[in-house]
Structure 1
Amino acid sequence: MKVLLLLVGILLHVSLQVSAVEMFEGEFILMSCEFPTFGVDQPTVVWTRSNLSPSIVHQRQTDGDELKDQNQLYRGRTFMKPDALETGELTLNLTKLQVSDTGTYTCTVRTSIGERTSTEERRVTDIELLVKERFPSWAIALLVLLVLVLIISAVLLYHFWKYFMPG
């Protein structure tokens, strides 16, 4: 019996897809999650980030998006295909990435069991997202200023070269 439980635990662990992605702020990401929803009764997909409260990033049910419990950091920035639950392609599109979006995103599928209203949850995918800051605008401005100072200094040095040379 213990061997069977250990084997089931290993299979569940192996079936969970985990990936890591690095992106820059301002970009968008498609976080892939696939689950065969054909023949599943009333499936719901929930994308979450456990270190947030509320933890829901996006939730899709058979009748459409359910975003009333969505974390406000993601309002207007998440999208899933309308036919996601029919095709099993549960990819989440997250736009206008921010450094604060860094974290682990989990795709979970909830399904109804039998005639009762009980549900079963299956954690399908974990995606670790690291959002990096682009080269800061103040650093770009400083570099441009430095280049301009060097160019102006070179022009002035060339122009007044005859005054520095003896003879």
Structure 2
Amino acid sequence: MLFLYLLVLLIDTASQHRSAEEGVEGGSVVISCSHRRIAFEEKQLTVYWRHNDTRNVHDIIHGKVSVKEQHPAYKNRTEVLPDELKKGRILLKLTDLQLSDRGTYICFVPDVGVHPSTQLVVKERPVIEQRAAQVRSHGTETSLGRTLQLLLLPGFILLFI
């Protein structure tokens, strides 16, 4: 019986991890805090979101948002989606993604002792370069009065006349 209990405990602990999200620098991402043991009670809900185990990202204490202890790097960039919260889903939206936001986000729900985590990958924003050139006649080098616009994206060249 003890062996069975330990096996269930190990499986439950292993299932608290293994989620991943991807975003682009400057964009936004929604991170879910879900686990089958989280029983939703909106008024009593306490959830602590942490980044790489050290930075306080966002807290919900007894059903109310608290940013009192929030790390300055996340100021005005986090929000728990209230419509989803009413449905029993705990979703954290992180906006204006920075490359420093990469890493592990842990959602700790102390009442049930679970702490699912999400690995966040933030990709660099694509560089867009614009160039202009005068269109000239072949051979005479006379300007045709048109400008050629080039938009250079990684892997693409877009031409506009």
Same structural fold, with TM-score higher than 0.5 when normalized by the shorter chain: yes
1:13-70, CA deviations, whole angstroms, 9 ceiling, x for partnerless residues?
A: 3431422222111111111123533469933011111254xx2111012341111111
Instruction: Give me the identity figure in percent.
Output: 33
* Aligned-partner Cα distance in 2 for 1:83–1:110: 23
| Distance in 2 between residues matched to 1:40 and 1:80, nearest whole Å | 13
**Higher share of residues assigned helix:** 1
Alpha-carbon spacing, 1:30–1:159, altered in 2? closer, same or farther (3 Å): same
Residues 1:107 and 2:107 aligned together = yes
Taking the aligned partners of 1:67 and 1:92, their CA distance within structure 2 comes to 13
Q: Which runs of 4+ in 1 moved over 6 A?
A: none
Structure 1 segments unaligned to the other structure (5+ residues): 112-119, 162-167
CA distance in 2, matches of 1:68, 1:47: 13
The answer on 1:50 being equivalent to 2:52 is yes
TM-score by length of 2: 0.70
Instruction: Say which one has the larger Rg.
Output: 1
Structure with the higher strand share, 1 or 2: 2
Q: Distance in 2 between matches of 1:94 and 1:18?
A: 19
TM-score (norm 1): 0.68
SS, match of residue 122 in structure 1: coil
**What SS class does the counterpart of residue 113 from structure 2 fall into?**
strand
CA-CA distance at 1:157 after TM superposition: 4.8
Give the structure 2 partner of residue 71 of structure 1. Answer: 71
Q: Give the letter aligned to residue 132 of structure 1.
A: K
In 2, are the aligned partners of 1:47 and 1:108 still within 8 Å (CA)?
yes
**Are the equivalent residues in 2 in contact too, given 1:20–1:129 (CA < 8 A)?**
yes
Written as runs of structure 1 = structure 2, the 5 A alignment for 1:1-167 is 3-4=3-4, 6-35=6-35, 36-38=38-40, 42-50=44-52, 52=54, 55-82=55-82, 87-111=87-111, 121-123=113-115, 125-137=116-128, 140-141=129-130, 144=131, 148=133, 155=136, 157-160=138-141
Amino acid in structure 2 at the alignment position of 1:133: E
Conserved? CA contact 1:38–1:86, under 8 Å: no
* CA distances 1:133-156 after superposition (whole Å, capped 9, x unpaired): 11235xx14xx26xx3xx65xx26
| Residues 1:95 and 1:10: Cα distance change in structure 2 (over 3 Å) | same
Alignment gaps of 5+ in structure 2: 143-161
CA contact (8 A) 2:44 2:63 kept: no
Cα RMSD after superposing both structures: 3.0
